[in-house]
Amino acid sequence: MDLLDAVSLTKDYGNGRGLFNFSMQLNAGDIVGLIGVNGAGKTTLLNMLAGCIHADSGKISYEGEEVTMDSSCRKKFGISVDPNFYSYLTAYENLEALFYLNGIRDSERIKAEIKDVLTIVGLDGAEKKKIKEFSFGMKQRLGFAQALLNGQTVMLLDEPFVGLDIHGRAMVKDTIRAMAENRGMAVIFSDHNLDEVKSLCNRLIVIRDGVKHYDGDIHIQSAVMLNVDDTDQIDSRYARKLDQHRLVITEENMNEKLHYISSIATILSVEKVINPLEKLLEEGNDEDACTVRAI
């Protein structure tokens, strides 16, 4: 059974904006990257899953049960989608408020869990600092801390790497990996950087103009096309022959393949075949995904 299941979700803002007939399944331990250009519909999807906005149509289910706006199961979701804080309160007080909202009054538990989560996100020592004094990056870390405190089975994160330095990004990635592996947490997060997503996810969803265009394996290899004087003697184990003068090779063991091919034929030029995922992310470009570029 899927942990979280979205079926035919639609939210139409007009003028082609929104999310249209979107379906996906999320299983325990999944780390799913939701990628697309600005305005593609990523945040709309996360807000619907989080219960922040109503879908015009479609259904969300959690462990087989339909989720409504007031379903208690969302208390198990760690959510950081445009996180908001009480600017006049400290970091500690903002996190403490989450426990009170969830009916938890055990002061020792609250103190221990806040201390742990602030250490994880690198804000230990800043618990008494008011939010109005926080930088954008510190707010991003605190938003992630909120998600960690609430997250039991599912985490919904909107561009969690924005505003973070290299150490902050590494912290978020390491924490997500650990929670997925050790606790079976299902994580879906949005971003617009394919390389950032590839470094973390086991699955990728690409949204463009509110429509899902891809849902599957993150490891789609790029390739290059070689123009050579003659392909007749080239072993097909090393390259795919397109015609008498063109070969395509994938990036795996590329140096070995190039060395072999150059020993058999004369390489006249090399062109990069655009990764299909990269092609989907090229804003305003609807040409065939097999476009090549000279390199």
Task: With a cut of 60, say whether residue 17 has pLDDT above it.
Answer: yes
282 or 254: which carries more pLDDT confidence?
A: 254
pLDDT at 70: 81
Q: Identify the residue whose tokens are 């086991």.
A: 202
Across the chain, what does the average pLDDT equal?
88
User: d(Cα 255, Cα 260) in Å, to the nearest integer?
Assistant: 9
Among 37-51, 56-70, 155-169, 213-227, which is the least confidently predicted range? Answer: 213-227
pLDDT at 145: 96
pLDDT at 284: 44
Locate 4 and state its tokens: 């979280």
Question: 3-state class of 79 per DSSP?
Answer: strand
Do the Cβ atoms of 64 and 106 come closer than 8 Å?
A: no
User: d(Cα 259, Cα 265) in Å, to the nearest integer?
Assistant: 10
Instruction: Write phi, then psi, for 236 (nearest 5 degrees).
Output: -65, -10
What does the domain layout of the chain look like in residue ranges?
4-216, 223-294
Band of the pLDDT at 248, cuts 50, 70, 90?
confident
Task: With a cut of 70, say whether residue 202 has pLDDT above it.
Answer: yes
- % of the chain surpassing 90 pLDDT: 62
pLDDT at 221: 65
The arithmetic mean of pLDDT across residues 155-175, rounded, is: 93
Task: With a cut of 60, say whether residue 293 has pLDDT above it.
Answer: no
User: d(Cα 228, Cα 295) in Å, to the nearest integer?
Assistant: 15
What does the pLDDT look like over 137-150, one tens digit per residue? 999 999 999 999 98
Band of the pLDDT at 287, cuts 50, 70, 90?
very low
> Which DSSP symbol is given to 220?
P
Looking at domain 4-216, its CATH class is alpha beta
Task: Locate all alpha helices (DSSP H) within the chain, ordered by sequence.
Answer: 42-50, 91-101, 107-120, 136-150, 166-183, 194-198, 254-264, 276-280
What does the pLDDT look like over 33-72, one tens digit per residue? 998 888 899 999 999 999 999 999 999 999 999 998 888 8
What does the pLDDT look like over 77-126, one tens digit per residue? 999 998 889 999 999 999 999 898 888 889 899 999 999 999 999 999 99
Q: How many CB atoms lie within 10 A of CB 170?
A: 13
pLDDT at 292: 42
User: d(Cα 73, Cα 67) in Å, to the nearest integer?
Assistant: 8
